[in-house]
Structure 1
Amino acid sequence: MDKRLIEAVELFEDVMVFGTERVLKNVKADVWQEYSLEQIQVLKLISKNGPLTAGIIADLQGVHKSAISNRLKKLEDKDLIEIVKSEEDQRTKLVDLTDAGLNVLKESDQAVYAYIHNLFSNHVKDDELDNFLIMFRKIKSILKLEGERE
C-alpha cells in the first residue's frame, strides 16, 4: 500500500482524536455546559439532514437505539426537538429541530468557529486553507458516493 496514504490516514485519525479533545477542552460556550457533546451532535445531524428517524440518528452516531431514546427525551424535554409524523408514512415518527434547538446549535457553532479561527489565524495561510477545502470537499464527495452505494 502507498506509504503516503497510510500517513494520510494516520494524520486524519490524529487530527480527529486530538482536535476533538482540544476543542472539547478549550471551547467556552454556555451551551456546552448545559448540553452534552452527543446532544449537540444530534442537533447538528438533524440540522444537516432534515428530520430523521431515531434509528437513523442512532446509526449516524454509532450507538444503540436505547441511547438515542434517552438523548431525544432530554432534548424534547428542553424543547430543542419535536417528534413529527412523516408526510410520506404517518406511522413513521421523525425528529425535527425547534427554533430553540436551532438557536442552541448556532451558539455552539459560533463558539467552535471562533475558537478554530483564533487557533489557526496565525498558522494557516489562505492558500493552505483553500487546498484544505478542496481536499476535504473531495473526501466528503467520495464518502457520500460510497455511502449511497451501500
Structure 2
Amino acid sequence: MNKRLDEAVDLFKDVMIYGTERIIKSIEHEIYDLYSPEQIHMLQILSKVEKVSPGRLAELQGVHKSAVSNRVKKLSQNGLVKVIDSKEDQRGKTISLTDKGRDVIHQSNELISHHIEDLLSDELKDSEIDEFIRIFNKVRTILKVEDEMK
C-alpha cells in the first residue's frame, strides 16, 4: 500500500479509537452515566439507517450478535428502541429508534458537537476544516458505494 495512504489510514483509526473514547469520557452529562458508549454508538447507527436487523447491527458495530441482543434488550427496556417482528419470517426482526431514542441521540450529538468545537475551534483554520469536509465527503461516498455493492 502507498506509504502516505497507510499513514492516513493509521491516523484515521487513531482518531476514531482515541477520539471517541476521549470525547465521551470527558463530557459530563447524565446521558453518559445512563448509557454506555456502545449503546450510544448503537443509537447513532439507528439514527442513520432507521430500521436494521440485529445481524446487520452486529456487523456495523463489529461485535457478536449476543452483544447486540443485550444492548437492544437494555435500550428497549429504557424505551429508546423498538423491536419489530417480521411478518414474513417468524425469526426475523428489525430494530428502530423510538421518539425517546431520537431525543437521546439528538442530545448526545449536540453535546459531542459542542465539545469537539471547543476542542478544535482554536486549533484549525477555516481552510483546514473545508479540506477535512471535502475529504471525508469523498471517503463517505466511496465507503457507501462499496457497502451498497455487498
Output the TM-score relative to the length of structure 1. Answer: 0.91
Q: Deviations over 1:106-129 (max 9, x none)?
A: 111111011001011111111111
Give yes or no for contact 2:82–2:97 (8 Å, CA) kept in 1: yes
Instruction: Select between 89-98 and 49-58 the one with higher mean Cα deviation.
Output: 89-98
Calculate percent identity across the aligned residue pairs. 44
Question: Mapping of 1:58-69 within 5 angstroms?
Answer: 58-69=58-69
Q: Deviations over 1:78-109 (max 9, x none)?
A: 1111112457x464321111111111111111
Instruction: Select between 16-25 and 41-50 the one with higher mean Cα deviation.
Output: 16-25
Shift of 1:14: 2.1
Equivalent residue pairs, number: 149
Residue 134 of structure 1 corresponds to 134
User: Counterparts of 2:78 and 2:112 in 1: how far apart (Å)?
Assistant: 22
Output the TM-score relative to the length of structure 2. Answer: 0.91
RMSD in angstroms over aligned alpha carbons? 1.6
Shift of 1:38: 0.9
User: Counterparts of 1:72 and 1:130 in 2: how far apart (Å)?
Assistant: 37
Give yes or no for contact 2:58–2:65 (8 Å, CA) kept in 1: yes
Question: Mapping of 1:5-16 within 5 angstroms?
Answer: 5-16=5-16
Are residue 105 (structure 1) and residue 105 (structure 2) matched?
Answer: yes
Are residue 35 (structure 1) and residue 51 (structure 2) matched?
Answer: no
Structure 1 alignment gaps of length 5 or more: none
Give yes or no for contact 2:80–2:97 (8 Å, CA) kept in 1: yes
User: Counterparts of 1:144 and 1:104 in 2: how far apart (Å)?
Assistant: 26
SS at structure 2 position matched to 1:4? helix
Are residue 71 (structure 1) and residue 71 (structure 2) matched?
Answer: yes
User: Counterparts of 1:21 and 1:96 in 2: how far apart (Å)?
Assistant: 25
Q: 1:65 to 1:73 in 2, by over 3 A?
A: same
User: Counterparts of 2:40 and 2:17 in 1: how far apart (Å)?
Assistant: 18
